[in-house]
Structure 1
Amino acid sequence: MGSSPSDSPSDSAFDLLGYLGRIGYDGSTQPDSDTLRGVIAAHGRTIPFENLDPLLGIPVADLSAAALSDKLVSRRRGGYCYEHNGLLGYALDELGYGVERLAGRVVWMKEPGAPLPALTHNVLAVMVPGEAGRYLVDVGFGGQTLSSPIRLQTGAVQQTRHEPYRLLQLPTRHEPEYELAAQVRGQWQPLYRFTAVPQPRIDLEVGSWYVSTHPGGVFVVGLSAALVTDDARINLRGRNLAIHSHGETERIRFGTAAEVLDALTGRFGVNLSDLDGVDVEARVAQVLDS
């Protein structure tokens, strides 16, 4: 297992049944590759990617099982990479998989020659009992997140429930570094780079605190939400909603913050009543065109 003692299932007292109920998963719980695929699909279609806490000035610094379960399961909110993959990691631990928490650098949409980004993405390397090798698992990359586990091996094109992906090994003098790319509209687009070095929870919490509080951070200055259904990717940025399905894209431009909030509750299933006492509409109105 790649977990540090503070991440262990016995220490976390993780409520697996509550998590499986939240994602609507009622299939096999044997720790095999079929269960892994089923849990990931259910998680992706049920728990939305959203950054309302950072947008509203609420730091995301506690990645314990209790904190993540409270927010994403009990309070029926969503979250970003540290929260999604943190929650899923605890569930996979409890199911009997081997789980290692990794850190990555997001290069999606970066200009060539841009400065190297910080290690502010979190992914999982998952070992299935009785199988050789590991899977790369990521339910927290927003609009372009992996919708299926892929083998943590380089070179081969690997099909997911949606687009094909591939891993490349980058030249380095130190620990092997990998780059994940997705085939989007016929073009290979790099998403992020990572090494297979397990990260302790404290380092992931530092990264989460940074991206949820940095004044110029993308999650602090703009609104994002995403959901991966069986046949579509639904992405929101500010007032702009895009629904990508079967090679076609439907775009909707909302006129008001109230319409955006309706989309967050209706399309993405975000429980906005959890933010009672906070003027969410006023803050969203400020970032409609972010």
Structure 2
Amino acid sequence: MTTDVSPGLDLAAYLDRIGYTGPTAATVDTLSALVSAHLRSIPFENLDPLMGIPVADLSAAALSAKLVQRRRGGYCFEQNGVMGYVLTELGYGVERLGGRVVWMRDSDELPAQTHETLSVTVPGDDGRWLVDVGLGGQTLSSPILLEAGLVQQTRHEPYRLREHADGYMLESQIRDEWRPLYMFGIRPQPLIDREVASWYVSTHPDSGFVQGLTAALVTDDARCNLRGRHLAIHSADGTERVRFEDAAAVMTALTERFGIDLTNLGDSTDIEARITEVLDT
């Protein structure tokens, strides 16, 4: 397994950030518990790209400063970035894999490799686990075995992997239909490649992260997805939808529902103005 060095990672601060007080021995149970705690505490969000702030530094120090100390969220390179550093620190074997997201895409064209996911091994266990806390509203809510052909139940929907090209396709069963999420290979991606991809999706004018606002949080019993002014709360009982009147209401939701500290993004007037521009994007 390849590893990334993690100077600047404050493990105790991270565990406090996600409200985790359980065992830290590198076991499958600990892995599942950490994923659950992370997802209900650190939201998926793209406010930096939306505000014109590139996300290029994926070091442990930079990600810890943002997601832990500043109590922000982030997207896949940040979410799985910090999770990878944490798991390595705890003694797991971690490989960072590159993926191509096909979820919610209408085009058949090959998407760019702009997703990061994790292959994780547990000491004394021959199996490999797919861990992904960074896909947003439809991300894996539990680790699954990195093995094709199995239908695997998570805390929410069933998932499965099928062989695809030189790697796998991850699929989720949604309303009794298997839906593809992303394809990924098994060749580990070095830091420089991940930083280039992150810089691209956080700065390119055609990037969805630059053009519109998105946020997501996965609780134990629901998935909360925000897109512009539209909030969807998916649970076993159905879907509740909320349409916010203006950017001020969206900012309140970002703070109160998603737990995002907006004070380090700049002047609140600028944030409100930018969100106003993308309310219906």
**Structure 1 length-normalised TM:** 0.95
Matches for 1:108-257 after TM superposition, within 5 Å: 108-111=103-106, 114-170=108-164, 172=165, 176-257=166-247
Structure 1 match to 2:88:
93
Structure 2 regions of 5+ residues with no counterpart? none
- Alignment check: 8 A CA contact 2:92 2:122 kept: yes
Sequence identity percentage? 64
Partner Cα separation in structure 2 for residue 52 and residue 280 of structure 1? 9
Partner Cα separation in structure 1 for residue 230 and residue 265 of structure 2? 22
Structure 2 match to 1:280:
271
Shift, 1:110, TM fit: 2.0
Partner Cα separation in structure 2 for residue 280 and residue 13 of structure 1? 29
**Secondary structure at 1:144 match in 2:** coil
Q: Flag the 1:260–1:13 CA change in 2: closer, same or farther, 3 A.
A: closer
Structure 2 match to 1:8:
5
Partner Cα separation in structure 2 for residue 46 and residue 62 of structure 1? 22
Partner Cα separation in structure 2 for residue 43 and residue 230 of structure 1? 11
Cα offsets for 1:95-135 (capped at 9, x unmatched): 000000000000112236x2100100000000000111200
Off by >4 Å, runs of 4+ in structure 1: none
- Alignment check: 8 A CA contact 2:8 2:60 kept: yes
1:63 correspondence with 2:58: yes
Structure 1 match to 2:21:
26
Shift, 1:13, TM fit: 4.0
- Alignment check: 8 A CA contact 2:49 2:202 kept: yes
Shift, 1:247, TM fit: 4.2
1:57 partner letter: G
Structure 1 regions of 5+ residues with no counterpart? none
**Secondary structure at 2:252 match in 1:** helix
**Structure 2 length-normalised TM:** 0.98
Structure 1 match to 2:37:
42
Count of equivalent residues: 280
Partner Cα separation in structure 2 for residue 135 and residue 55 of structure 1? 32
**Secondary structure at 1:274 match in 2:** coil
Partner Cα separation in structure 1 for residue 204 and residue 8 of structure 2? 32
**Secondary structure at 2:249 match in 1:** helix
Cα offsets for 1:60-96 (capped at 9, x unmatched): 0000000000000000000000000000000000000
- Alignment check: 8 A CA contact 2:225 2:231 kept: yes
1:31 partner letter: A
Partner Cα separation in structure 1 for residue 37 and residue 25 of structure 2? 16
Cα offsets for 1:161-192 (capped at 9, x unmatched): 0000000002x3xxx22000001111110000
2:272 partner letter: E
- Alignment check: 8 A CA contact 2:8 2:64 kept: no
Further displaced range: 103-112 or 263-272: 103-112
Q: Flag the 1:247–1:164 CA change in 2: closer, same or farther, 3 A.
A: farther
Q: What is the root-mean-square deviation in Å for CA atoms of aligned residues?
A: 0.9
